[in-house]
Structure 1
Amino acid sequence: MARLIRHLILLVTTGLVGAALVAPPAGAAPTWRPLTNLFADLSAAGSSSFAPAIAADSAGNATVLWSRWNGTQYVVQASYRPVGGTWSAPVDVAGGRRIVDPQVVVDQAGNATAVWRRIDTDRSVVQSASRPLGGTWSTPVDLSFDPSFDPSQQPDVPQLAVDAAGTVTVTWSRFEAPPGQPWRFTAQSATRTTDGTWSTPVDLSPAGSPAKSTDVTVDPAGNATAVWRSAATVQAATRPAGGTWSAPIALTTTASDRAPRVVVDPSGTVTAVWHSFAGGQYGVQTATRPLGGAWTSPVDLARGEVFDTPALAVDRQGTVTALWQRYDAGWIVTSATRKAGGAWSSPVSLSTPARDSWDPQIAVDLAGNATVLWSRADDGGRVVEAANRPAGGEWSEPVDLSAPGDAWNPQVAVDPAGNATAVWARKDGAGYVVQARGLDAAGPVVTEITGETPRTARGTRVYSVKAHDVWSRVASARWTFPDGTTETGASVSYAGSLPGSVRVVLADSVGNATACTYTGTFTCRPTTRIAPVVDRVRLNTKKIRAVGSDARAATKAKATIRLDTDARVTFTFRKAGSKPVRLSKRLDAGRNVVVVRARLRAGKVLEPGRWKVVVTAKNKAGTSAKKKLRLRVVR
């Protein structure tokens, strides 16, 4: 059964957490935390736990739900991890004879809402529970029940989405088999407003139509779109914020279409994708509808041997990414993208055909960086793999996330900065255990910077910073003051008197960094890596004497250079008629002094004459703008 994750464009918020500071490694990029570090069994061993669902709020706090057999009944369990913290012990949210595929969303304030289907002996019930940020789960409430039950019919998985105000919309398919009549499924929906009140369910599909496999999305303004499979077509209905659902329209007319998925970007443009069968061929199709407009005709993304579990995600810029499985000497996870207003790219393969890969899942952050998970066949079972794609870039090679064994049902959620949390169910002895692992993709979140002058130290100002990191620890804080002096630590002193802004660069334990400027208030530039900036460079003298010369000139020049982050600095000396001469040094953030002599080193000599000096700084994130100096070498 396909699993889904809902994505909402969120704004970054922060909390106040202090940190111990030590030196970090240099050069970083999005990094999956190792199995021995913040890798956790969320559920207890001894019984099977499966089908996890996950959501992350705007600060990066993660909530996971799953279904577990406790020996007597199935229970929905949940675990919560605050940013920089550890996973909570699992708590029971609901119980029943059988509970399948819980789903969860979290709103901008961190409030969680879950929905699932509880199957009894004579009917099934769609239920929901909620948890405020920092609170406990509510008692489950019934949203709808099936008046009939047929064990031969696969139960439909309820889906849900939340808008920017916190209003939750749920869709599901209701089963009914009236005496003497054919059985039927009806797509339904209910909404919970911010005061916690659920609406009465409404039918989305016409009575008597076999509507199954619903999906729903809402834009930040609260406009909702639902899709479902009805007989041989994919259908959709829309609901404006605060309004009522429209009559359904058919997106397709082909012989067999199923497993529709739908997402919406911040502008309100909706994209749906589904698995199709027409003309004797399987395929993946898509259609788009602008806010207030009409659906486009279906477009083929793929034709051939494809499987019916497509996945879909959209970023803040409106770039849509679709995933599906195609067969070519093995089942391969395949992807295509479409920029806002553009055409779909050619499909690319993410997994290798050597081993079958299944159940692809995707999440994207605000910038458009994408994280994809899937389950890949392995000796004796399956492993969960992941690939990443920076915004506008190429997909990385896949990496194994789970340990060897048998891992299924991967799910992934990201916070706005790109930190990801992955979960799956992995066989542990006789049963399955839900496990989690984190992707550290962004630098520390700075929550406070202060600068105070203590009474006991007139003229000395004390600066301090508070920060936390989602998936590791804050490892270093390096300050640069207006006069070029530097200090390191969470709290430092500065006795200088030059006016100007104070800069502090914080890095986490894998090297992701955040740069902030403080002038009474602070602004920060969160980034995985910071390209260097040469704030200032100057020579204490513009004339030095040549090798072997007795000229009345200094033997050396001192180049003072101030950087905002660690980098390799290159001085390139150029003179007409001579080959360029280069001097490179790795320098720390802050104020540095580089000594320049006519003999830079063996084989590198500055001959007499007038030299132009170009200074650049470079690290893995980029190269600084050029700074230009002049130096004269005299006989």
Structure 2
Amino acid sequence: MTRVITRLVLVIVTALLGAALVTPPAGAAPTWRPVTNLFADLSAPGAQTPSIGTDAAGSSTVVWSRYDGTRTIVETSYRPVGGTWSAPVVIATGAQIGFAQVAVAPSGGATAVWRSSELDRSVVQASSRSASGTWSEPVTLSSDPSRDLSSQPDVPQVAVDPTGVATATWSRFEAVPGQPWRFTVQTSTQAADGTWSTPVDLSPAGSPARTTDVTVDPAGNATAVWSAGATLQAATRPAGGAWSAPVQLSAAAGPRANPRVVVDPSGTATAVWGSFAGGAYGVQTASRAPGGAWTAPLDLVSGDVFDTPAIAVDRQGNTTALWQQNDGSGWVVTSASRPAGGAWSAPVLLSAPADDSWDPQVAVDLAGNATAIWARDLAGGRVIEAARRPAQGEWSEPIELSARGDAQHPQVAVDPSGNVTAAWSRKADAGWIVQARGLDAAGPVVTGITGTTSRIAARGRAFSVTAHDVWSRVASARWTFPDGTTASGTSVSYAGTTGTRPVRVVLTDSVGNATACSYTSTFTCRATTRIRPFIDRARLSPKKIRAVGSDARVAKKARATITLNTAAKVTFTFRKAGSKRVTLVKKLDAGRNRVTIRARLSARKVLAPGRWKVVVTAKNAVGTSPKASFRLRVVR
């Protein structure tokens, strides 16, 4: 079975991101968004092999190739923070295009590369989009005389530096008589004006150099890796300089080593690849500090291993690698990690055994929280699964992201605050489609807070906050003033005096992630989990139910809808003149919850006929919410 792994684009942002960007703590509430708008069919049928990238603000870009019935096209969709996915935009056409790749700059600009097979040749092409513009016309970076797909070089790869300068790598078929497997790894870099440099050969002439990957550090230094027969090779380029001669990392590369390489903010590069030595497959790794030499290759695992490793690194230099191996019952996804300057851990199993799991991908945010996704074969069809690992924590149990059927080619990207975007292709009734889903892992992003120091007539002093959330809506804003009084809403008034003392506001999104800000003449914000609960909405429908044993032609039950800013223990207190109070306690999550209410609340708690007032309060370790209430009538 031949599988081509697509490139994971992970941009490490080390520049100052401003007070509005916050990193979620381990106690936040990362939540995969449900199947409404945010779980989207991005493409029409005929689409496969997506690639995904995310900018510093959390906006996402997905590209894929699709056969429209007569030709292959490269399409893309864009989702701004807090918005919806755009309609697909065609950026290229060709006779046969597959595995288009995209890299997204922190500012939002994007560059896509792909290989297009024409009638008598194969070309590597690229297109770019400015942060707020449209995609450029495709530019041909390289051409080779190959139409025979059995001889075609592998997927081009692309990476961008923090300024948006893109570097692409690919392998070019040389078509030398008598040497059917002669390939040369080439590279090109995009200048500030959008033009691409003349391709530079990285691999030695006459070698079977294929399966490239490339990464760029925050300073603009580039590292490329590739396999050349049984060897794994690499070359480096300082920012603005020339590429080095290739060096050998390993003499035990697998038949399709599929090397992956990442670089941390300090400039230390780490590569992983599939190996083959002594009749056994495995995964090897090596690292290179800035200005230093590559370390000797290290075996992470040896045995029945598939050559599709993945790797990611956080801003501290902690590295996470994934691969798939056969444990005797089937193919499973396994992970190992290495703290900055430390040693690799023992492998940890992520996916369940017995059912084959494929194509592992991983992304890590600035805080070190990791998200892994893969495709898994189940009785109801192949499904995309995901697992999470908080910084310094352990991997969670996997959950299913896609509907069961035939889902494959998973991809994942993360923004600096930890919000995740996943994409994959899935076979629907009419053909293959590209789908996407988001993980809301961070609270609202605050873009501005304003306030007046002087009183405005009877309104008092006015304060307002502007904010958005990447994957949810901003559900609440709770203000606390220097004298201890509070107010709710994005625009509020305050009758007291602040002086030089700060005004505080906590904003929560609809899944319970929160951002706490302090404001004087300027504002600073941070992620927080210390949130007093607040009931945004409490309502009941219907407002009349039948008593126990009643034959009245009314509903047996009512549904209470309770919307919370954070998870809490919610108490419903039922009050009626002449009757003893009755309580019902539920643990509810952030967001909208539904609680069923019957006349028989439990074996010992029964609501007698009459008119009841229901008082609702929410409580957690931080405090208790203000009361909310509604009316309920129980009839015979």
Give the alignment's TM-score, normalised by structure 1.
0.80
Identity %: 68
Secondary structure in 2 matching 1:478 = strand
User: What is aligned with 1:262?
Assistant: 261
> What letter matches 1:342 in structure 2?
G
**Separation in 2, partners of 1:12, 1:146:** 43
Distance in 2 between residues matched to 1:458 and 1:35, nearest whole Å: 46
Aligned to 1:42: 42
Give how far 1:379 is off: 2.2
Q: How does 1:30-429 map to 2 (within 5 A)?
A: 30-44=30-44, 47-254=45-252, 256=254, 258-328=257-327, 329-429=329-429
Aligned CA distance change for structure 1 residues 397 and 181 (closer, same or farther; 3 Å): closer
Quick check: 2:423–2:436 contact (8 Å CA) kept in 1?
yes
Distance (Å, rounded) in 2 between the aligned partners of 1:50 and 1:439: 22
CA separation of 1:374/1:180 partners in 2, compared to 1, >3 Å: closer, same or farther?
A: closer
Q: TM-score, normalised by structure 2?
A: 0.80
Once residues 319 and 313 of structure 2 are traced to their aligned partners in structure 1, the CA distance between those partners, rounded to angstroms, is 4
Aligned mates of 1:60, 1:565 — CA distance in 2: 23
User: How far apart are the structure 1 equivalents of 2:65 and 2:254?
Assistant: 31
Distance in 2 (alpha carbons) for counterparts of 1:446 and 1:147: 53
1:556 maps to what in 2? none
**Matched residue SS, 1:435:** strand
* CA-to-aligned-CA distance 1:356-402 (integer Å, 9 cap, x gap): 10000111111111111100002242000000111111111000000
Amino acid at match of 2:50: P
Question: Do 2:232 and 2:252's aligned partners in 1 also have CA atoms closer than 8 Å?
Answer: no
**Shift in CA distance, 531/466, structure 1 to aligned 2, threshold 3 Å:** closer
Q: 1:189 touches 1:202 (CA, 8 Å); kept in 2?
A: yes
**Separation in 2 of the partners of 1:453 and 1:459?**
13
Shift of 1:215: 0.4
Deviation of the 1:282 alpha carbon: 1.2
Give distance in 2, aligned partners of 1:90 and 1:479. Answer: 41
Distance 1:196 1:167, change over 3 A: same
Note the C-alpha offset of 1:104. 0.5
- Runs of 5+ consecutive residues of structure 2 not aligned to the other structure: 21-26, 533-564, 570-586, 588-618, 624-636
Alpha-carbon shift at residue 195 of structure 1 (Å):
1.9
Measured after TM superposition, the shift of residue 459 of structure 1 is: 8.3
CA distance in 2, matches of 1:335, 1:516: 37
What is residue 610 of structure 1 aligned with on the other side? none
Distance (Å, rounded) in 1 between the aligned partners of 2:468 and 2:38: 15
| CA distance in structure 2 between the aligned counterparts of 1:43 and 1:390, rounded to whole angstroms | 32
Residue 147 (structure 1) shift: 2.5
Task: Tell me which amino acid in the other structure corresponds to 1:514.
Answer: T
Assess if the C-alpha contact under 8 Å between 1:108 and 1:164 holds in 2: yes
C-alpha separation in 1, matches of 2:334 and 2:470: 30
Letter of the 1:49 counterpart: A
Q: How many residues align?
A: 531
State the AA in 1 paired with 2:337: T
Checking the alignment, whether the CA contact within 8 Å between 1:149 and 1:175 is kept in structure 2 is no
The CA deviation at 1:254 is: 2.5
Aligned counterparts of 1:180 and 1:319: Cα–Cα separation in 2? 46
Q: Counterpart of 2:477?
A: 477
Letter in 2 for 1:316: R
Alpha-carbon distance in 2 for matches of 1:39, 1:167: 31
Distance (whole Å) between structure 2 residues aligned to residue 42 and residue 283 of structure 1:
36
**CA offsets per residue over residues 76-122 of structure 1, 9 Å max, x none?**
00000000001100010000000010000111211111000001121
The one-letter amino acid paired with 2:300 is: L
Structure 2: how far apart are the matches of 1:621 and 1:349? 37
- Following superposition, the deviation at residue 566 of structure 1 comes to 9.6
Quickly say closer, same or farther: Cα 1:445–1:452, change in 2 above 3 A. Answer: same
Q: Is the 8 A contact 1:52 1:424 kept in 2?
A: yes
SS where residue 309 of structure 1 aligns?
strand
State the match for 2:9 in structure 1. Answer: 6
Work out the CA distance in 1 between the residues paired with 2:198 and 2:527.
Answer: 44
Letter aligned with residue 511 of structure 1: G
Deviation at 1:621, TM superposition (A): 10
Q: 1:480 to 1:520 in 2, by over 3 A?
A: same
CA distance in 2, matches of 1:65, 1:621: 44
Distance 1:224 1:51 in 2: 26
Report Cα offsets for 1:543-594 as digits up to 9, x if no partner: xxxxxxxxxxxxxxxxxxxxx99989xxxxxxxxxxxxxxxxx9xxxxxxxx
Cα distance change, pair 49–450 in 1 and its aligned pair in 2 (3 A): same
The whole-number CA distance in structure 1 between the counterparts of 2:311 and 2:342 is: 17
User: In the alignment, what sits opposite 1:19?
Assistant: none
Contact residue 14 and residue 447 of structure 1 kept, 8 A:
no
Amino acid at match of 1:276: S
One-letter identity of the residue aligned with 2:10: H
8 Å Cα contact 2:151/2:180 also seen in 1? no
| CA deviation after TM superposition for structure 1 residue 245, in Å | 0.6
Between structure 1 and structure 2, the one with the greater Rg is 1
Q: Cα gap change, 1:72/1:453 in structure 2, threshold over 3 Å: closer, same or farther?
A: same
Give the distance between the partners of 1:213 and 1:255, measured in 2 at CA. 11
SS in 1 for 2:168: strand
Letter aligned with residue 449 of structure 1: I
2:596 is matched with which residue? Answer: none
Q: Which residue of 1 aligns with 2:547?
A: none
SS in 1 for 2:497: coil
Taking only aligned residues, the RMSD between alpha carbons, in angstroms, comes to: 2.3
Amino acid paired to 1:365: D
Alpha-carbon distance in structure 2 between the residues aligned to 1:57 and 1:97: 31
Partners of 1:332 and 1:352 within 8 A in 2: yes
Structure 1 stretch displaced more, 29-38 or 270-279: 29-38
Alpha-carbon shift at residue 181 of structure 1 (Å): 4.6
TM-superposed deviation, 1:178? 2.5
**Cα offsets for 1:331-361 (capped at 9, x unmatched):** 1100000011000011000000121100001
SS at match of 1:525: strand
**CA 1:155 to 1:209, structure 2 compared with 1: closer, same or farther past 3 Å?**
closer
- Aligned partner of residue 152 in structure 1, secondary structure: helix
Q: Which runs of 5+ in 1 are unaligned?
A: 17-26, 533-563, 569-585, 587-617, 623-635
Q: 1:241: how far off?
A: 0.7
Measure the CA separation in 1 of the matches of 2:154 and 2:400. Answer: 31
C-alpha deviation, 1:4, in angstroms: 1.3
Question: Any conservation in 1 of the 2:456–2:462 contact (CA below 8 Å)?
Answer: no
